Every structure is written in structure tokens, then in C-alpha cells.
Structure 1
């Protein structure tokens, strides 16, 4: 029998004989594998690829065509869509079905549709107006109960409504709609959506991606629609979606330096975390097997044989752990994706990214072997006579390790300072690995240095800390594991929250929060007069300020724009045209200086960076006329909101530049109720009308931060408890002695829980220091867009408290539930 085969048999029998310790080791190896595999599976399953989502968009049609807003210059390319608008929500230009069909060739059949929202009291739900009985819509929604709408005022609803056929929907301001069927969305089970032949649609609250909302057609053509047809469709004001977007798009996969560095850093972190978690268990296992290994050595076993036996432990237990963790991770990821989808996300068919999943499993196996490497070296070096005599081997610290750890930490911090000036965050993470390695090397020294705190502690905690310091090889590994997890989560938390705050600070608007805007587009004078009167009737007692459009001698409509940098981002604004009433709304008060400047024919500007020597440079652009640039005199004023920019031009100034002005806008400081029907009422007077309310910045911080907290919870609490169980096993003689002299069970539990508290608190504090440095460095590439741009640094205090305080408290609370009944200890005289 070969030595390797014999070592594997010995390891298998030893693992079965010490099932508790083996389960702990497998848990420590399996935890990172399970968490990462679950995350990879969840990410792939929750992501709906364009191929998977094309059926919802197209049905069985050959193309989907959506009318874009007027005054929009649209150009689609295989790499995306580029559009330039004047910033207003104008209505789509008129196009007939015959004109659109002619663009796609003879034999084209069109099915009209419209997408928007339906107002149900205070709620706005997605709505689709089309004939779902048409074969072109097959795959967009799946009927699960009842039938499809066949007449006006009949609708189908998604199952998330909880309605059944025969019940009634009551939209705001219109006749009730009868539910005749229930449908399922292919990949959004929580979506609230209504579909029918004739719906009282309102525009979406947010514009959304180009082509998502609006009016258009599903087209069945006699030939495939290709990219060669797109320029003509764009010129006609149509946004096209077709299968060629997927089949014709060139996809390149490559590995550049950043990818290689990122993958390398991830591999190192996975192996390091697994080794730190499993290492103490192997060390305790070696302590219990010293006599067995010494007997093998006494019978002729060489140091190489002893190393092979201990390494075989890592291979057997690591292999078993990955075999269990991989399918569990896949199942957990799939279950999480489907569960979150019912709470508001989306989910596609189960997708398992086998290459990275198998790579993670291989890393788990490798980490098991690496975790057993240090105990294997110790086993090969142990003195056989000392072990057989029952004397404990002398444990000494390596004097050069603290210095080496300090050098690594300083080198890592220096690398972080350099890496933060790079545009890719992967360099910061790579530099942070050096800091983590340095702290891992420093951890035994820090554990020994914190031993002085035991003298000031309550007796049970004093015993816990002294035992942790005495067995610092076991303790240091667990502390370092907690430190590595905490550092990663803290760094990601600070970086992600800084990015959120930067985006919030970068938010800007040309109107103050709470302002209502009504645009008439290119309606005629008579239609505008009726529209204005209807707006005044619908908003009784609300002061309305007029806004104006600029037109040239050929009656071409022009937008007067300027460009400014706001929070490091190049922003293009459209200047408003109006009088003192509009200025008062934009400033939220009466400003005599600004009002006097406006009356004298000067522009009032709210962007200080846009002024140059008292001048504002404007560009007049139109979709039907030549563009030109000119400068106007301007003064700086203070707007109503801190995030607000823009400029107001007096009519006289615009007319002196060669334009005429016509009133086509109304503004008011007024918040519409959630069930308002203002847009629908105004659309009855003039179809080419848009209504918008400025609501301010409403995005929330990334909820994925709490997902990171959940992963940290599993690793920190799991790793701490495993280390605590190992400590409890080592403390068995001391606990037996304490019980013999009258210690209560609660005191014994506190001794064990004190180990968890010490490990988790020290690891969390070290992780906080390392993670804070990394997070601050991450904030620069995540929040800057070029040289000279100032980085945004924001600290998510509730999140950090949950990580640095909450996790140790939770780990300690769970450790208090550890069974502490001491077993009798046999003592020799």
C-alpha cells in the first residue's frame, strides 16, 4: 500500500472517529464556498439577459417600434442608443400606421400598442394597451386564469394584484374596469401590471430608458429587420427593437491586466479566508493526535509520512466540504433569487455559472490542504520523545514576525495611496490584500499584547482572555478571519455609500422641488389659449407663471442651451424664458437685485460656473433649423434649492437676438395629489401636452450593502462560533475544575462566550481600521470622473455600527447558548 493511500485511510478513519471536530473543519471550509457559490448562482439567475427578456418586449413580432418625443435627434448603433433632446417631456410626432409599414417593406403587418401607467388611487401601476389575442403578443404575458380582454373596459391583471376574474378595478377619474383574466409576467412575479384594449393611460412618472414607454407598433415583416433599416427608422422618429440587436452585436470577451489582478485578488482572499477559518480546527486536531503521530514516528515513520497524514486530513475534509457546500450554495442562490423576485425583483431560469462555481470548489479544496499545511509542518518537526513522555511542546513567538507584519501593512498603505489615483477600483483591492496579509502576520503579537486587559475583567472573562492569549495560535487565526471579513465589508460599505452620496450631490434640476410644469409643445395659438384656460380651471387659486418658446423667422422652434460642470459632471441645461413671476418661483422669494437685472434685459443665472466676465454663452439649436451661438449679459442669483441650477432669460433679450417668443409653458409651485387626473384632463383639450412635477432626488442607498452584511453575518458568526467550540474543547479541564469548586452553568457559559466576545471584538476593530483605509481609497475612483475632481467620502454610520458592534454582540449572544456541561476529566497524579 502506498504512503498516500495509507494516509488517506488514516485521515478518513480519524475524521469519522472525531466527528464533531471534523464537522467544524468542514463548516469552516464550506462557509466561504457556500456563500460565494450562492452569490454567483443568485447573480446569474436574477439577471435576465437580453435573449431571455426579448420575448417580453417583442412577443413573436419581428420588430418593436416606439415613437420618440418630438425635437429628439435619435441615432441607434449596435453598441447602444444616442439621443439629444431639449429636456422637456414632449409628445411624439404624428405617424400613421401606413407610413410606418412603408418603411419596413410590403407585406408588413402592424399591431398598435401603448405603454404607460394606470392611476389606481394613490398607486401608479404599469399598463399595456394592445390586443393580447393577437399572435404577435404571445410570450409577453402568460394567461393563468380567465380569458383575454375582448372589449373596452375589460382588462387582465398580473397575479401580484391578488384579484380574480369578475372583480373590478377603479382607476382615478374614469369608468371602472372589469378583470376578465389573470396573467403572469415571465420574469417579474411581483409586477403590478394591467393590460387591455382601451386604457386611460397616464405618462410614466419617470421618463425611463429610450423606447420603454410610449406609443408604437409590433411589426410582422416579410424579411428580418436589420441594422441597415435602423437609420431610416430613426429619421422617422422611431426607436427600433429587433432580434438583430442580439445576433448582430459583436461581443468580445478578453482578459486585461485589471481583470487578471482582480481575479488574483479574489482568489487570494477566498483561500486566505478559508485557511484562517479552518486553520484553528486543524491545529486542535494536531494537538489531539500528537501521541498517535509520535507512535507512527517511533515505528519508523519519517517526517514526510507525518506531513502526508496531516495534509491528507485537509484533502479529505476539504473535498467533503466542497462536495456538500457546492450544491447547497447553488440551491441557496436559486431560492434567494426566486424569493427576492416575489418581493420586487426579477428572476430568470436557473443558471449555474459552472466555470466560476467549479473554480470556487477547487479553491475550497485547495484551501483545505493549505489550512493543514502549518499543522503538517509542526507534526513533522515535533519531538517524539517529548510527546510520548506526555510533556507539552514549548510554544515560542517568532521575534521577526511583528516587524514583517508592520512592513507589509506600511507597504500596503503606501500601495493604497498610489492605487486610489487609478480609475479602476481593482487596484485598491489588490493593494488592500497587502494590508490584510500584514495584519494576519501581526495578529499573534496583537493577541499577546491585549492579554493585559484580563487583569481588569470579571473572573469568567479573565479566564476567557487568558486562555485565548495562551492558545494564541488558535485565537490569532480566528481573529484574523473575522478581521478579513469585517475589513472587506467595511471597505465596500464606505465605497458604495460614498458613491451614493456623490450621485445624490450630483443631482441637479433647473426647477425647484415642488414645481409643477405644463408644456404645450407645438400647439397652435387657439389650442394654447384653451389649454391655459383649462389649466387655470383645474388648478383654482394656484398662481401660474408663463414660460415662452423661442422661434425664428421661419417659425422653427429653438432651444437655448448652455453647458456647465456640476459636481464634476458636464451638464447641459436649457435656459427658461419668462418674466419676474417665473423668477420669483425659481428663487422661492422676491429678489430685488435679480428682478431689476431681469427687467433691464439681463439673464439671471443660477450656475456660477456658467458665467464668464458677466456673460452667458448660449447655443441655439433646433431639429429643423441651423444652430448658432451667442453671448448675453447675465448676473448671478441664488436659486430656491441648493441642487438647483439653470438660467432665466427675459423676452426682450431673446427677441433682441433675432427670435420671437410665444407662450407655451406654465409653471406653479404646487404638488399634485397621487390620484390627480390633470394630464388626462388637459390632454382632452390639446393632445400635445406634457405635465411634470419636480420631486427632487429620490433614489435610496444601495440595498446590496445589507446583502454584504448578511454574508458577513454568516462568516463572522459562523467562524467565531467554530473557534469558540474549539476553545470550549480545550477548556474542558479548566471548566471541570471550575464546576468542581462550585461554578454555576451560567458562569461556564460566560467563560465560553467570553472567547467569542474577545475574538469578534478584536477582529472587528482590526477590520474596521483596515476597511476604513480601503474604503476611503475606494471612494476616489468610485466618485471622481477626471483630474481635478474632488472625491466624495461618506461614512454609513448605521451600517458600520451593525458590522463592528452588531456582529460581535450577536456572535457572543449565540455563544451563550453553547452547551457547557463539563464532562469528567481523568487526572493522573
Structure 2
């Protein structure tokens, strides 16, 4: 029988005898494989490729055409399907259905296909204006209840919670009857209304795949990339069945993005291997401690050092292979089953997909990790002194003198790389630099353990015994401390980066109205209807002061919006300037400002965005959905708004009228919060269906709950790794604890020794990990929160989260160690 088969048989029998330890090792090896495989499968299943979404995009049509706004230069890139727009100043007329049919050739049939928003009171809902009864739309939406809509009827998706027979009351239009419920094949959480004649809300926003007018077309010949330039020149964005299914072109990858992707994958692989090896290594060492005598007897009977290494490495193969196989299967199942569940909360899910090349690489990585985790115990088994082990004395391993120098070099190199990486776009470079820091700290950990043993003489007896034993067995302790350190550093870094991103988004929040302001406005209505609406609003809000807002119109009575663009927190933001008087100014400022009031009375604009002013002037763009745009500059002064995150501008009526516009009342504003269940909109809707009621609630988003998911993951890894190392320490200190019990030490003292080991390992690892994670987190916050040159980074520390990781996890690990069985068996003490 070969030596390898013998080693595998010995490893199998040893694993079966120590089933608890074997299960622990398999969990430590399989958990990262399961998580990564599940994430890869989940991402693949939730990513719907153009080919997979072909029916949902086109139905049975040959092409979808979307009309770009007038004056837009449209260019689609066949190397990757990208598109870009730019305004060249020209205003070419938009083609009608007849011109589009002529461009596509004889035999073309067009079906209107318009996407936009439908306002239901204060809530905008995505809407699709098309006839679902037409064969061209077959497969885009599946009827699950009722029937398909005809004129003045709609179908809704299940997420809206409506059923056939319900009524929709869009603002400014007659009610619509719900006659059917339809489902999107890939987006179960989609909220959409579909009908052949919908009152879509006018909006300047255009996106070819989300908002805009267009057609589905059945053509006599395929529409290929060669036909796209002519259609783009006519202002039509093209999505063609032939373009999607054509395999003659492939996307051109950005070389810089490819390099970042490769570096990111490499850093992730190193981190997974590092953490898994450090976690599983102590568990393998437990087996080595228990099998020292067995291996020594094999060596005494003629076993070579290589054969001893093979026996221990076989443990990694015997335990790593089934752990990897089971974890891979569970990960694939979790990814496939989890995609539809997550899609109901948002996103999309396609047919089940498994990215086999990366999944198989992860499985191979898990198997390799098992062998690497067993490598250090295997080397120790080959070097152990047979006579020392057979005599019952614990072997000692000398320190490696070059490791502290190597560790310090790697840490300094990693810190230098981090300083450079934080200036680069993308966070992958910072994370890659952090890997160098962690590798250096792993090499420094044995030296740190030895240094922390010096002040142990000042501790109480149980802690003193625990620390001195940990220092004496540095090879076992350093592995566990390094594992806790790596996990803590990763979680703290991600926590700081994620929280900084959240705070940056919160700081980026802005509105043109202060929190608590109620706004009421209507569409195109006559003066008599407006007077009735205003009177009804005053009746519904007794005692609430109402300020009036105005609307600009040109000589042809077309509505115009006066807008400007400003950078807020590094992001370009477009605002609409309000038109009003002193009453509205007091609401926007929350107080009376004599300087701003005087400027408004003198015919100047009052601006709340400092970056929008240039030499005392405000540049505005007057735009309309039915008229040519205009550009104008007006005198302005800067003022302080009511809220910190408030922007916007207020224009006096006289200034707008000097620019050639007329002004009419169209809005009402009040500082008033509507109570729950308010019927204000319903009562105003009886006056005119074109009314809209909006209330500014301020920033409403909550911190990312996934941050605490990282805490749960850290809890499993830190506590699991600490308890594995504590069990190893308990096995090593069994003779010492037996001596302490023999001389009268109570059980509480023995438990405190074991708990002291857990506190020492988790506490030291958490403190070192805090320092490393804080450095990486601060560096990570820059690429995650900056939006261009000159934009300062946002750095925010989630203190409750950090305290829970750095303090809570060691306390929890210590508490878990306190309930570990510590009653020592009778032991023979060597003389």
C-alpha cells in the first residue's frame, strides 16, 4: 500500500474520531467558499443580458425607436452599445410616424410606445403608453389576472397592489379603470401602469430605455448597425433585434478597468486564503496536539519526516475536499433560490445562471486553502522531537528572527501604497494596498505577542497564567490573533467607508424648499378654477398663512421653467427658480431677512446657492416643452436659507416680466405638516384633477443595513476562531490546570484561565485590527465620496458599529469561553 493511501486512511480515521473538530475545520474552510459561490451565482442570475431580456424589451417587434429631444446630437457606439448626447444649438424637427416608417423602408408597421410618469396625487408612477393587445407586445408583460386594457383602461403590475375594478385618478385627467394585472418577466418589484391612452406627465428628462416617446416597429428587413447612423441623425435611438443577437461585434473593454478588475480579484483571493488559513490553522493545530504521540510513535517505528508531513497534509485534503464540495453546492442553491426573493425587494432576476469558471476557481481555492491551512502543522509535525513528545513534554518552537523585519517592511510598503492609492479613482487600489498591510501585520504578530507578555506579571493569577501560556505557545496564539486582526481590520475598514458614503449622500441631499413646507400647484387651468382652488385650500387649512408662487409664460401663453445648474457636494444639480414675493421669501428663509427682502424689492434674485453666483449675476435657462429655450442673466444676491441642505433661488415678478415673460398665480406654499390620513388632495382634486400636493419631508434615507450584516459575519468568524484557539489552549494547558486543581484552585479560577485566553486573543487581534482598519477606512472614504477634482472627501466613523466590533466581539468571545467545560482529567505529571 502506498504512503499516500496510508496517510489518507489515517487522516480519515482521525477525522471520524474527532468529529467536533473535523466539523469545525470543514465549516471554517467551507464558509468562505459558500459565501463567494452564492454571491457569484446570485450576481449571474440577477444580471439579465440583452439576449435574455430580448422578449421583455421588444416583444415580437423587430426594433424599438425612441425619440431624442429636439436639438440633440445622438450617436450610438456599435463597439459596446453606448450612446452619448450633445447640444449643437440646432433645432431639427422631430420626425413623425410617417417619416419614421419611410426611414425603415416599405412594409413597416409602427405601434406607439411611449414611456414616462403618471402622477397619482403626490406619487409619480412609471407608465407605459401602448396597446398590449397588439401582437408586437407579446411577451413583454404577462397577464396574470383580468384582461388587457382598451381605451380609458389600464393594466397594473402586482407591486401597485391594485385589482381589476379599481380606479386610478391621475392628476389633470379623468379616472382610469384597472382591468388587468400584468407581470414583468424579470422584474417582479416593478411598479408600472400600462394603457393605450395615458396622460403622461410632461418632463424634460429623457432616457431611451426609461423615459421618452417612440415606437415598436415590424420591419420587412432587419435593422442592423449599418442603419443606425441614419436613424440617429433623425433623432432616433435604436434598439434592434438584429443588433442584440448579432455576434459579429463584442464590447471593447477599457484597459484600465480590466487592470482594476484583475487587481481586485487578486486581492480578494489573497484575503480569502489568508483569513481562512488563519482561522482553520489553529483547528488543524488542535488535531496535531492531540496526535503528537501518535505521530511520534510512527516516527519511532521508522516513519520519515516526509511521511509525517503527508499524514498531516492528508487531513487538509480529507476535510477540505468534502467541505468545498458541500459548500459549492449549497452556494449555488442559495444564489439561484435567493435571486427571485431579492428581486421582489428590488432589481431583476433572469433564468438561473452559474458562472462556472469563477465558481470552479473558488472551489479549487477552497481545496487549496485546506491544504495550506494544514501546511504549518505538517511542517511542525515533521520537526517535532520524538523523544520529547514520547516523554510527555511539550515541544518548543523557536522564533524566526527575520519575520519582524519582514513584517515592518510590508506594513511600511502598504502604508505608502495606501497614500498613493487613495488619490486614484476606484476603491480597488486602496483595498489592494490594505492586503500588504495585513500581510505585514501577520508577520509581526508573533513579535507583538511576545512583547505583550512582559507586563503579564502585574495581572491577576488567572489572566497571568493565560497570557504567559499564550506567549509560550506563540505559533498557536499568533495564528488566532492574526485571524481576528484580519477580520476586524476588514470589517472596520468597510464600516468606515460605507458610513462615510452614507454621510456623503446625506450631505448631498438638497431641496429647493425647507423641511415641513407644503406645496400646492396645478397644471394649465383658467383663472376662475384657480380662484376656486385657492379658496378651497384656504378653507381646508384654516389659520395657515399661504404664500403665492407664480408661473412664467411667454407671449404665446406657453409655460416656461427658469432653471440653473450648480454643483452641490461635488454633484451637478439642476434647480428650478421660484417666482414670488416677500411672503414666500420669509417661508424659504424661516425668518425675516431685511437685506434679502430689500434686494427682492429692488428687482434682484435671492439665491441660496453660493456656487451659482458669478460676479453678482445668476445665469438661467428658460425652457418649455412646447417652445424654444432661452438663456438670460439676472442680478442676484446671496442669502441664507432656512435649512442647511436647502438651495434654490427666488425671483421677483418684476424681474421675470422685464425678461419678456408674464406671470400668473399657479402655486401655494405654507409651513404646515399634513396629519396622517389627510384628505387635502382628495378635496382639492374635486375642484380640479390637475392639482398636485407635495410635502417636503427632508432627508429620509436610513444607513445601509448591510453594515450590520458585516457585524454578523465578523461575529461568526471572530468568535469561531477565538473559540477554536481557546480549545487548543485548553488542550495545551491541561497539565497546568490539573496542577492548579490539585492544589485547591476552584472551578471559577480554571474557567477564568480559559476565558483569559479568549480575551487575550480576541482583544489583541481587535486592537491591532482597529488601527489597520481605521487607516484603510479613512483612505477608502476618499474614492467612495469624491465626485471630481476639488471635491473634498467625507470621513465619518460609525462609532456604535466600531465599538460593537472592537469591544463587543471580544467580550462575547470571552463570555462564550467562560461556559467552556474546564474540568481537567487526571493527568500524569512528568518528573
Deviation, 1:265, is 1.5
Matches within 5 A, 1:199-214: 211-212=209-210
Contact residue 45 and residue 351 of structure 2 kept, 8 A: yes
Return the alpha-carbon distance in structure 2 between the equivalents of residues 499 and 267 of structure 1. 25
Bigger CA drift: 405-414 or 227-236?
A: 227-236
Residue 635 of structure 2: aligned partner: 633
**Would the alpha carbon gap of residues 123 and 557 (structure 1) be closer, same or farther in structure 2, given more than 3 Å must change?**
closer
Residue 802 of structure 1: aligned partner: 804
**Would the alpha carbon gap of residues 242 and 407 (structure 1) be closer, same or farther in structure 2, given more than 3 Å must change?**
same
**Would the alpha carbon gap of residues 219 and 508 (structure 1) be closer, same or farther in structure 2, given more than 3 Å must change?**
same
Residue 663 of structure 1: aligned partner: 664
The yes-or-no answer on 1:543 pairing with 2:541 is no
Return the alpha-carbon distance in structure 1 between the equivalents of residues 73 and 529 of structure 2. 29
The yes-or-no answer on 1:36 pairing with 2:36 is yes
- TM-score (ref. length: structure 2): 0.82
For 1:725, which of 712, 724, 727 is the aligned residue? 727
- The 3-state SS of whatever aligns with 1:267 is helix
**Would the alpha carbon gap of residues 489 and 460 (structure 1) be closer, same or farther in structure 2, given more than 3 Å must change?**
same
Bigger CA drift: 467-476 or 182-191?
A: 182-191
Return the alpha-carbon distance in structure 2 between the equivalents of residues 730 and 529 of structure 1. 91
**Would the alpha carbon gap of residues 789 and 459 (structure 1) be closer, same or farther in structure 2, given more than 3 Å must change?**
same
Deviation, 1:276, is 0.5
**Would the alpha carbon gap of residues 176 and 747 (structure 1) be closer, same or farther in structure 2, given more than 3 Å must change?**
farther
**Per-residue Cα deviation, 1:425-466 (whole angstroms, up to 9, x for no partner):** 222112211221222122223334444676676766665445
**Per-residue Cα deviation, 1:147-178 (whole angstroms, up to 9, x for no partner):** 42567898776666889x88867979999999
Unaligned 5+ runs, structure 1: 86-92
Residue 356 of structure 1: aligned partner: 358
Return the alpha-carbon distance in structure 1 between the equivalents of residues 558 and 437 of structure 2. 63
**Per-residue Cα deviation, 1:545-599 (whole angstroms, up to 9, x for no partner):** 2334364x78887665544433233444454444434433433333222222222
Deviation, 1:298, is 4.0
Contact residue 289 and residue 732 of structure 2 kept, 8 A: no
Return the alpha-carbon distance in structure 1 between the equivalents of residues 200 and 826 of structure 2. 77
**Would the alpha carbon gap of residues 544 and 316 (structure 1) be closer, same or farther in structure 2, given more than 3 Å must change?**
same
Matches within 5 A, 1:274-293: 274-293=276-295
Contact residue 44 and residue 351 of structure 1 kept, 8 A: yes
Residue 110 of structure 1: aligned partner: 111
- The 3-state SS of whatever aligns with 2:635 is strand
Deviation, 1:218, is 4.8
Matches within 5 A, 1:346-425: 346-425=348-427
**Would the alpha carbon gap of residues 211 and 596 (structure 1) be closer, same or farther in structure 2, given more than 3 Å must change?**
farther
Contact residue 418 and residue 779 of structure 2 kept, 8 A: yes
- The 3-state SS of whatever aligns with 2:552 is strand
**Per-residue Cα deviation, 1:236-284 (whole angstroms, up to 9, x for no partner):** 8877655467447842346643233222211211111111112112323
Residue 595 of structure 2: aligned partner: 593
Deviation, 1:361, is 1.6
Residue 706 of structure 1: aligned partner: 708
Contact residue 136 and residue 220 of structure 1 kept, 8 A: yes
Matches within 5 A, 1:243-282: 243=241, 246-247=244-245, 250-253=250-253, 256-282=258-284
Deviation, 1:379, is 2.8
Q: CA RMSD in A?
A: 4.6
Return the alpha-carbon distance in structure 2 between the equivalents of residues 349 and 809 of structure 1. 45
For 2:319, which of 304, 317, 320 is the aligned residue? 317
- TM-score (ref. length: structure 1): 0.82
Deviation, 1:56, is 3.8
**Would the alpha carbon gap of residues 728 and 295 (structure 1) be closer, same or farther in structure 2, given more than 3 Å must change?**
closer
Residue 90 of structure 2: aligned partner: none
Contact residue 37 and residue 331 of structure 2 kept, 8 A: yes
Deviation, 1:8, is 3.9
**Per-residue Cα deviation, 1:731-774 (whole angstroms, up to 9, x for no partner):** 45556666777878777666545544433333222222111110
Contact residue 56 and residue 141 of structure 1 kept, 8 A: yes
Contact residue 116 and residue 214 of structure 1 kept, 8 A: no
Residue 20 of structure 1: aligned partner: 20
Residue 531 of structure 2: aligned partner: 533
**Would the alpha carbon gap of residues 761 and 222 (structure 1) be closer, same or farther in structure 2, given more than 3 Å must change?**
farther
Contact residue 464 and residue 751 of structure 1 kept, 8 A: yes
- The 3-state SS of whatever aligns with 1:422 is coil
Return the alpha-carbon distance in structure 2 between the equivalents of residues 681 and 131 of structure 1. 32
- The 3-state SS of whatever aligns with 2:669 is strand
Unaligned 5+ runs, structure 2: 88-92
**Would the alpha carbon gap of residues 254 and 127 (structure 1) be closer, same or farther in structure 2, given more than 3 Å must change?**
closer
Deviation, 1:375, is 2.4
Contact residue 202 and residue 625 of structure 2 kept, 8 A: no
What is the count of residue pairs matched by the alignment? 810
